[in-house]
Amino acid sequence: MGELDLKNLRIDYGARMIIRDFNLAVRNGEMMSLLGPSGAGKTTILKAIAGLLAPAAGDILIDGQSVRDVPPEKRDAVMVFQKPLLFPFMNVAQNIGFGLRMQGQPGREARRHIGAILALTQLEGLEHRKVHELSGGQQQRVALARALVLKPSVLLLDEPLSNLDANLRQRMRELIQTIQSETRMTMLFVTHDQSEALMISHRVALLLEGRLRQVGAPRELFYQPADPEVARFFGGRNFFQGHVRDGKLHSDLGVFPVGPQNGNGHVRTATIRPEDIRIAPRATGQSRGLRGRVVKTRFEGSSTRVVVACGANEVMVLTPEDAFRPGQEVEITVPPEKIRLFPGD
Amino acid sequence: MTSPLTTGADARTRKGPGGVALSLALLPALAVVLILFGGGFALGIVQALGYLPGAGLGEWSLAHFARVLSDPDFLHSFLLTLYIAGASTVIAAGISIPAALGLASLSKRSRVIHFIFQMPLTVPHLVIAIAVMFMLAPAGLLSRAATGAGWIASPADFPLLINDAWGIGIILTYVWKEIPFITLMLLAVLRHTGRDLLDVGRTLKADAWQRFRYITLPIIFPALGAASLIVFAYTFGAFEVPFLLGQTYPMTLPVWAYKHYSDIDLMARPEGIATGIVIALVVMAAVILAQVLTKAARKRGLIA
Amino acid sequence: MKKSSRRFFGSIVGATVGLPFLSLVLWSFAERWFYPALWPQAWGLRAWRYITSTAGFQVMTAIGHSVVVAAVTAAIAVVIAVPAGRALGQYDFKGKDLVSVLLTLPIIVPPLCVAMGLHLWFIRLGLAETYAGVIGVHLTFCLPYAIFVLWGVFANYNPDFEDQARSLGASRAVVMARVMLPMILPGISVAALFAFLLSWSQYLSTLIIGGGRVTTLPVLLFALMGSGDRPVAAAVSLVFVAPAFIALLFSARHLGNRSLAGVR
């Protein structure tokens, strides 16, 4: 089992409230990302779950049992830190076996478990190495193995990949995913990297300014952001307002069908992702697009960012073609089905 | 053998800027050490071996060493010195571990405690020996307090704490003086690597005692060993404190050495020097033994 | 640590450290203090007046001797230790272990042994009973300590700052004076403090090499202990620790909390 429930958690740092009214439920066997910009309080929450930090209010439940009064060493939640923090005076196998030894597990059994974890984390053959002889990726794998071997109900991962270079990061991410799907261990993975969170997890919880904004499947957060700030966090641009009338949104960028359930007569905010807008040089013939002029372009390799002035609005477009220059007259098309209309207040 | 004062690797070392520049940088230091220290030590050995042309002693022989080592008082002195140095080191190290943990858990705002704790570092051994004498002498402060409390009637009833057979005054002086030295060496290590690893240990199921035994102790062990060795070496070879607070018989080896050295009979001088050499050899042997034991223990996995 | 246990810890530390000083202060102001009185029966400034009076000019002379010897020893030690510490802390080279052993030996071998060996040689060279001779023997152990301090300092010193300064147009000499020196100044202060205090409290090697001529404070204090005048011995003892306290205050103000780790 491995259910984690955080109820009305409040965490203070001195007189400052870092986390308030935090509610989150991680299901058994789930890989959940806790995503947020650095300084949002993600690590603080992990430390509270691990017991290294006492919440000012609220409760933490593991498998339905409150662990508020359980010291960290007795909690069934193990934390992997941002830095590997391997014990420098122990070799790889001793580091991995540390937790088992603390629980008084007999040597033979412990060796069997360590052997299995070494295979799982691709560390075979390194068990007698000193930790300073390991590469950064190997060190982080040992840190991971050291936690996994305890088979905790909940594994807490605090940006364990952030100190690795891009290539290694990708491989480690895949390794963690494989391990998770093989062991079905409940994991709470903290990261500030949105693509990492979207790639790795079953569900993502987005934390902005100490508050949980949205929890859901990766595609849900990406395509149906709860509010403009969530959208902005996932690279959303092009926020615009319009008037809803007869199931349609009337805006400067056009009239879009939004379904009958959206209240008539209200001003609402909507967004369209830059990559969803189509852009073309202005044709001489008739067209159904919006007319505009290129303000500036930014070449990003596989795509180019183009800012287009359409009347009073500036629209950002992401296109695979590197064919536009400032001053050029263009035509953009906004596909109505890609419009995201935010719920009203 | 690595130096006792720089345990662990240097943070960032590079390949040299060329042998010449390095040699030039090290030359003055090595010259002083080799000529003044090495020369002094070598001349000491030469003189202890009986080669003293100015005094009419031109023969090389082990006679002085033989006479020192066969003197029945030598064994007494040696054991007394070993006992005093060993007891002082063990007691000071034993108190330093909890003291360092206590200081480490204090917030940095407790500067007053830190400051007071450092005071003994800067106090010369001689001064604290005098203060201890004023306190522990038969008519000293402690004895007066005991009389005032009605526990004893006269100085004669007061237990002998200085110039005594057990070297209590000497050991107390050393312990007082060396605790901050060892503690601050431990504290530097604890501050550097302590907190995070203890947090890791906690989430990996180590209770308070296990965190101390399996994390803190291995972290501080190299510094503790190095600091203890330095303390042992110092207390084994120091003169002032046992001279002031020790008994007249048996003397500690350094006092014995100086007594011979300063004897009006110039023929006793080589014996004094020979005793000094013996002290140096014992200290060096202790350091080497500690290194060998550490290595063996590490090999057998007893320590990290 | 909780407030109550902090108090407890603090008061144990305070009492243990303070008691010896209290006894020295009491004795130095005691005019009459017979057993079994816990406090002196008569207070007075006799001992302190003795130190500052002409009769006690030997005390002032001794302070002078001690200051000169310790200050010169510390200055020489630091000047030699800076390049050596830099070489050891910044570079890896063949024979580094050997150098380390060579520097460790003077720290563990008692000075009395070296002083006895040097004595005869210094007599021949005319260095016995001179400042130079005493400073020479003090250097044998003060210098290695200073080197170890600066070794540690340079091991944590980032030379990239120097390269940065060079690329911004500073000459090699300017880099040393304006970049390296300010960065290692706390380390230099500690090394100098170390060497000064070691030399300052040195007794036997001073006595052997200096004979009766270079009477530093500890040499005089031993003589006073022999004479049995306790109040004067107590007062001189307090004078003897004064520079140490000034040094400690200085370090607490300017160098932070743990900078004295390693001082003996």
A279-302 pLDDT per residue, tens? 988 877 666 778 889 999 999 999
Q: Compare all CA atoms of chain A with the CA of B202 and give the residue at the minimum distance.
A: A73
CA separation, residue A339 to residues A118, B79, B110, C54 (Å): 48, 91, 60, 99
Rounded Cα gap, residues A314 and A308, in angstroms: 6
Crossing angle for the helix pair B217-237 and C96-108, to the nearest 10 degrees: 50
| Helices within C109-229 (DSSP H only) | 111-125, 131-155, 160-167, 172-175, 181-200, 204-210, 217-227
User: How far apart, in whole angstroms, are the C-alpha atoms of residue B246 and residue B235?
Assistant: 13
Predicted local confidence at residue B92, as pLDDT: 97
Do A118 and A94 form a contact (C-beta atoms < 8 A)?
no
Probe site for chain B from A44, A47, A70, A87 (most B CB atoms < 10 A):
A87
Local structure of residue B131 (DSSP, 8 states): H
Q: With beta carbons under 8 A apart, name residues in chain C contacting B15.
A: 91-92
pLDDT in the model for residue B1: 32
Task: Assess whether pLDDT exceeds 90 at residue A176.
Answer: yes
Reduced to 3 states, what is the DSSP secondary structure of residue C38? coil
pLDDT of residue A9: 92
Pairing of strands A57-62, A31-35: unpaired
Question: pLDDT value at position B56?
Answer: 62
What percentage of chain A carries pLDDT values higher than 70?
A: 97
The per-residue pLDDT for B7 is 40
Contact B260, C112 (CB under 8 A): no
| The pLDDT value given to residue A251 | 86
Decide if C110 and B108 are in contact by the 8 Å CB cutoff.
no
Identify any residues that bridge with A157 across adjacent strands, giving them in sequence order. Answer: A80, A189
φ/ψ region of B283 (left if φ > 0, alpha if ψ in -120 to 50, else beta) reads: alpha
Question: Please, which residues bridge with residue A251 across strands?
Answer: A242, A254
Residues of B in contact with C92 (CB under 8 A): 13-16
User: Residues 58-77, chain C: which have Cβ within 8 Å of B?
Assistant: none
Q: Tell the burial category of B300 from Cβ atoms under 10 Å away from its Cβ (0-12, 13-18, 19+).
A: exposed
Residue A166 scores a pLDDT above 90: no
Stretch B246-255: mean pLDDT? 91
Give the contacts of C58 (CB within 8 A, at least 6 positions apart): C215, C220
Q: Contact, A143 vs A96, CB < 8 A?
A: no
Checking if the pLDDT of B87 tops 90, the result is yes
Predicted pLDDT of residue B301: 62
The 3-class SS string of chain A reads: CCCEEEEEEEEEECCEEEEEEEEEEECCCCEEEEECCCCCCHHHHHHHHHCCCCCCEEEEEECCEECCCCCHHHCCEEEECCCCCCCCCCEHHHHHHHHHHHCCCCHHHHHHHHHHHHHHCCCCCCCCCEHHHCCHHHHHHHHHHHHHCCCCCEEEEECCCCCCCHHHHHHHHHHHHHHHHHHCCEEEEEECCHHHHHHHCCEEEEEECCEEEEEECHHHHHHCCCCHHHHHHCCCCCEEEEEEECCEEEECCEEEECCCCCCCCCEEEEECCHHHCEEEECCCCCCCCEEEEEEEEEECCCCEEEEEEECCEEEEEEECCCCCCCCCEEEEECCHHHCEECCCC
Which domains can be identified in chain B, with CATH numbers? 27-61 (no CATH), 71-299 (1.10.3720.10)
Mean pLDDT, residues B267-294 taken together? 90
Position of tokens 């200073």?
A: C146
Give dist(CA C259, CA C264) in Å, integer: 13
Cβ atoms within 10 Å, residue C64:
13
SS3 breakdown of chain B: % helix, strand, coil, rounded to 5?
Answer: 75, 0, 25
Mean pLDDT of B259-274: 87
The residues, ordered by sequence, that sit 6+ positions from A125 with a Cβ below 8 Å of its Cβ are none
Q: How far apart are CA B101 and CA B212, in angstroms?
A: 10
Contact residues on chain B for C144, CB-CB shorter than 8 A = 33
Q: Which pair of structure tokens corresponds to residue C208?
A: 């052997």
A339 phi and psi angles, rounded to 5 deg: -70, 135
**What is the C-alpha separation between C198 and C264, in angstroms, rounded?**
7
Label the pairing between strands A340-341 and A278-281: unpaired
Q: Output phi, psi for A319, to 5 deg.
A: -130, 145
Q: How far away is chain A from the Cα of B207, in angstroms, using its nearest Cα?
A: 6
Considering the entire predicted model, what is its pTM? 0.85
Q: Which residues of chain C have pLDDT under 50?
A: 257-258
Residue A277: name the closest of A225, A330, A234 by CA. Answer: A330
* CA closest to C196 among chain B residues: B122
H-helix or E-strand spanning residue C43:
strand C42-43
**Under a CB-based contact definition with an 8 Å cutoff, are residues B215 and B206 in contact?**
yes
Contact: A102, B210; criterion CB under 8 Å: yes
CB pairs A-B closer than 8 Å: 66
% chain A with pLDDT above 90:
61
Cβ–Cβ under 8 Å, residues A318 and A305:
yes
Q: What is the mean pLDDT of residues A216-222?
A: 94
- CB-CB under 8 Å, C116 with B257: yes
Q: The tokens of B71 are what?
A: 């003197």
ipTM of the complex: 0.90
If one compares B180 and C52, the residue with the highest pLDDT of the two is: B180
Q: What is the pLDDT of residue B9?
A: 44
Indicate the SS3 state at residue B14. Answer: strand
- Other beta carbons within 10 Å of A25: 15
Task: Specify the pLDDT at position B303.
Answer: 62
CA C2 to chain centre: 36
Residue B3 — pLDDT band, cuts 50, 70, 90?
very low
Q: A290-299 and A278-281 as β-strands: parallel, antiparallel, unpaired?
A: unpaired
Contact A103 B205 (CB under 8 A): yes
For tokens 């291995």, the residue is B218
Q: What is the pLDDT of residues A8-26, one digit of tens each?
A: 999 988 778 788 889 999 9
Which of C257, C259, C263 to mutate to test binding with chain B, by most B CBs within 10 Å of its CB? Answer: C257
Q: What one-letter code names the amino acid at C247?
A: A
Tell me if A77 and B203 make a contact (CB, 8 A cut-off): yes
The pLDDT score that the predictor gives to residue B300 is: 67
Which one of C6, C234, C245 has the shortest CB-CB distance to B110?
C6
CB B7 within 8 A of CB B223: yes
Domains of chain C, with CATH numbers? 65-255 (1.10.3720.10)
